Structures are given as C-alpha cells and as structure tokens.
Structure 1
Amino acid sequence: MPTLSAITLYPIKSCAGLSLEEATLTPLGVMTAQIYDREWMVVDYNGMCLTQREHPRMALIKPALKGTTLEVQAPGMLRLEIPLGLPDPQTAPTLTTKVWDDTVLAYDCDALTAEWFTKAIGVPCRLARFHANAERPVSTQWTNGVQVTTMFSDGYPVLVVGSASLDDLNQKLLAAGRQAIPMNRFRPNLVIDGIEAFEEDYAESFQIGEVVLKPVKPCPRCPMPAIDQATGTYGPDPMDIMQSYRAKPEVEGALCFGMNSILTAGEDQRVRVGQEIEVTLAF
C-alpha cells in the first residue's frame, strides 16, 4: 500500500523547508502551527520576488518553530525571530509584491528583518508576508474551472512527488557517472512511497484519510534542482539527463518532475508520515 513518507513545509519561498511528522492540509496548502506554505517571500525594493534561481544562498536560510515565533538562521548570522501572530490588517505597513505574473498585497516586515535578509543573501531586500486580505487565484486552465487560491508558491498549493521517481532519475545519473541527488532538490510538500516511478503523473487523486488531493499540472522545472541545498551552491545539473525523458508536450515541452495538486476534500484534516494513501489512476 502506498504511504506518505515525507511532509515538508516551506514557510519562506525559496528558503529551506521544515520537515514535519504531521501537518494540516488546507486549500492553501500544507500548514502547521498556523504557518502556511510559502506564507513569506523575500522581495527586492521593487517588490519582485527573489528566488534561489538567482540567489542560491537562500537555500542556507533555515526556519524553525520556536514558541510564538519563526526562528531563521543562516551561516555567520545571529538568529532572527519573526512573530507568528498576524499584523493588524488595518494599520500594519504593506507593500505590493510581484510573483511571476501576479501582483499580491503583502505585509512589509520591519527594517531589522530587512537588514538581516539583506546580509544573509547579499543583495538589498525585504521580507514580505501574505496579507490577510489578499487572494491569489491559480490558473483555472489546469483545474478544470475549479476556483483555487494559493499564497507565494510558484503556482499551486501542494507539490506531490513519488520517491520512486527520484530513484529512477538517480539510477540514470549514476549510470552516466554522476552523483545521486536528494529529494530536497525538487522541494515537494508531500512524498509518496510505494508507487511506480512517475505514477503520480497519471493519478486522478491521492486520498490520505479524509484528505483528497487532485493532481492538476505537471511541475515544470527551472535550474533550481542543480542547487545543492546543503551548500547553497550550484552542483551537477540533472536537467540534461531529464531532457531525455521528462519533456512534457502538454506544458510546451518543459522538463517536469512532480505534480502540482489541489485539495478537493478533507479541508483542515491532519495527515502524518507513514499514513496509507489510496492512489486512483486517471485511466
């Protein structure tokens, strides 16, 4: 029987994730302790999102839960604590952010936080938090008209990958005289054991207890899988190996790994590592 083998929440877009034993599944994605996936985002002074694509050192910014704060660490830096309580939406300072083609209202975190991230990443930047009154719809082209929103993810609330898919890629890398790479290069929220390689591509749904996730779009890959998440530097790039078998014509030939998914049932239900998953294929 397929099982849920890993849960990862990424509080700050493009920074390191939180590995969890259990979490709540919401329409906005994975959540724990009232922290949502990609609830925060680092932006430049024009509000444009910063990512590991251009700033691989962001991989070294590591969050941790500490009471009522989100604690972040980076090499050579003092720890920073970010309050988890939401700011007052009527009085808190805001800024307009840009996530790819979307313009999103956000809270503007304070100057001390901006200074910390500027030093950690090496470019002038600020930390933004998704505003309580903001809404960011996903493309209904892939959801069959279902209205879904997300925070600062690239496009969809939940990314699901089968562990056998990474095993398959690593076998090809090793056969080519290359090093195997870990799953964190692909930054999934949920990892499934016990299904065939890339079986997630053909799933109609994943049911975990009362939770039902529907995969809606293959996840196109940028150069980020080439970034070693432990060192924050570019390493061997798996994209040339993926080029031979992971190009998807339905997304204009993009190289894809993992499935962007939406919640269709079981809102605010808890899931846990080791839980059985019922996988229904779309044929």
Structure 2
Amino acid sequence: MLRLSALYRYPLKSGKVDVLQSVDLDKLGLDGDRRWMLVDEASGRFLTQRAEAKMSQLSALWNAQGGLTLRAPEQSAIDIALPGDDAELRGVTIWRDTLRVPDAGDEAARWVSDFIGKPTRLVQVPLDRARSTQSGFGKDDDQVAFADGFPLLLIGEASLQDLAQKVGRPLEMLRFRPNLVIEGSEAYAEDGWKRIRIGDVEFRIVKSCSRCILTTIDPQTGERSADREPLATLQKYRAQADGAMFGQNLVNDSNGRLEVGMSVEVLE
C-alpha cells in the first residue's frame, strides 16, 4: 500500500525545513510553504543556497498568523510579523518572473543583511500576488508562491534508496527538498503517475523536477560535496533535455488537510 510517510515545509525559500505531521493546503500548496524569500536589496533578485550556501543554516519557523521566527548561528532570534496592507511593495525577480510583493521592513532587513553579509531584504507573497506556474505545464490558472516553478514536490522513498545505492553512500531526503514523501512504491514509480489522491485532496503531476547544484549541499552542515554527488550520478542515468530529473512537481486541485500516514491512491 502506498502511504504518505513525510511532510516537509520550507517557510523561507532556501531556508531550513519545518518537519510536519499534518498541514492544510491552499491554492499555493502547503499552507505557509515558501511564502517568504530573501532578495538582494539593490537588484531585487532572489537569493538561494545555490549562491549563498549558508542559507542552509537559516531557520525560519512559520506561525499561524503567517509571520516568521528567524534563527541563525551567532545571531539572536527575531520574530517578524506578516506585512500589513500598508506595507511597502518591493519589485523582485525570481527566475524569469518579476512581481511586486510586500517588504517585511527595516528591522528584518538589518537582521538578514547581517546574516548574508550584504544588503538584503525579506519579502512575503500573499495569495493575491502569486505567480503563474511554469508555462507549458499544468493549467493556465495554476499558481505558485516562491517555489521554483510549482507548488509541490513529491519523491518516493524507493527512488532515494536506489540513488543512494548507485552513489555508494546514504543520502538525506532533504537534499532534494520535497514536500511529500511516499513509501510503498517501486523506485521511480512516481515518474509514471498523472493524478493521485491523498485523503480528500487530488493532485496533478505536471512535470519532472530538474535537479541542480543544491543537491550537493549537506542540509545539516551547509557544506558542498567535493565529488558533486549525488548530482554527478543523477546526470549519468537520469539525464533528459532539461537536466537530471529526480522527483515530480505537483499541483493540488483543491484545499484540504494532509497527515503523515495517509494512504495514497494513484488515479491515473
């Protein structure tokens, strides 16, 4: 039987994980997932572990009011409120998308600038300012917050085990930053799924996930692997035109609640 074995949320894009036992969904995926982002103050361009590996050590816990508590080594924790309707809007760029979103204010900016080591701003995306998902996939009205292209990412436990065997050492699932982890399937079974149901929520699988250098960063230490693993192995046997594929991007077609342990039904 297929089962939802883990739920992961990343309140701040490229920040540390929030491990969940249950969570609600809205139109942008898991409630509170990647609704916040760091951007370069001058350019408005988004920052991630790809260029700022230390972000793997930045903890951002989401609260029910939509705010954040940020923690990092050698810095005092800070509570940041959800920006109000009168918050300054800041122009930001994430990949090819440009949008205007609320800025979290100067106190938050000083904290994240001290952490990053250069002028940085913290921004948040409300539902009514979300981006469209990657063009050419899914439906025209599919939307996403600050995730790279789609609201959700799913990986099967057996797929990770297969990759780890090929690499020759254990691998942490969090290198791949999924939201949903499924147990009970064969390795890469998720590649062939088109629709699934978990609880009362149906999901569409819209695109395989192309992996990048982020997978080579140890989620515990923030250090990059000298041998470029597991990306190097993925590129040998999972390469497609768009890159080395691992995991599947999803869109939820309704709101609802997920809990670890729920059964997973493949509809198509």
How far did residue 26 of structure 1 move?
2.2
Alignment of 1:42-81 (within 5 A): 42-45=38-41, 46-65=43-62, 68=65, 69-81=67-79
Deviations 1:43-100, CA, capped at 9 Å, x for gaps:
001110001000010010112246754211111110011114x411xx2111011010
Q: 2:178 maps to what in 1? A: 188
Secondary structure of the structure 2 residue equivalent to 1:241: helix
Letter in 2 for 1:259: Q
Please, which of 245, 249, 253 is the counterpart of residue 260 of structure 1?
249
Instruction: Structure 1 unaligned segments of length 5 or more: list them.
Output: none
Secondary structure of the structure 2 residue equivalent to 1:184: helix
Secondary structure of the structure 2 residue equivalent to 1:260: strand
Letter in 2 for 1:44: D
Instruction: Structure 2 unaligned segments of length 5 or more: list them.
Output: none
Letter in 2 for 1:161: I
Identity %: 36
Please, which of 219, 231, 240 is the counterpart of residue 239 of structure 1?
231
State TM-score, norm by structure 1. Answer: 0.89
Indicate if the aligned counterparts of 1:140 and 1:147 stay in contact, CA closer than 8 A.
no
Please, which of 164, 168, 175 is the counterpart of residue 162 of structure 2?
168
Deviations 1:90-131, CA, capped at 9 Å, x for gaps:
x21110110100001111111111111112122321101114
Change (3 A) 1:99 1:67: closer
Q: 1:115 maps to what in 2? A: 110
Q: 1:141 maps to what in 2? A: 136
Q: Alpha carbon RMSD of aligned pairs, Å?
A: 1.5
Of the structure 1 ranges 186-195 and 233-242, higher mean CA displacement relative to structure 2 is found in: 233-242
Change (3 A) 1:261 1:66: closer
Please, which of 130, 137, 149 is the counterpart of residue 155 of structure 1?
149
Give the length in aligned residue pairs: 264
State TM-score, norm by structure 2. Answer: 0.94
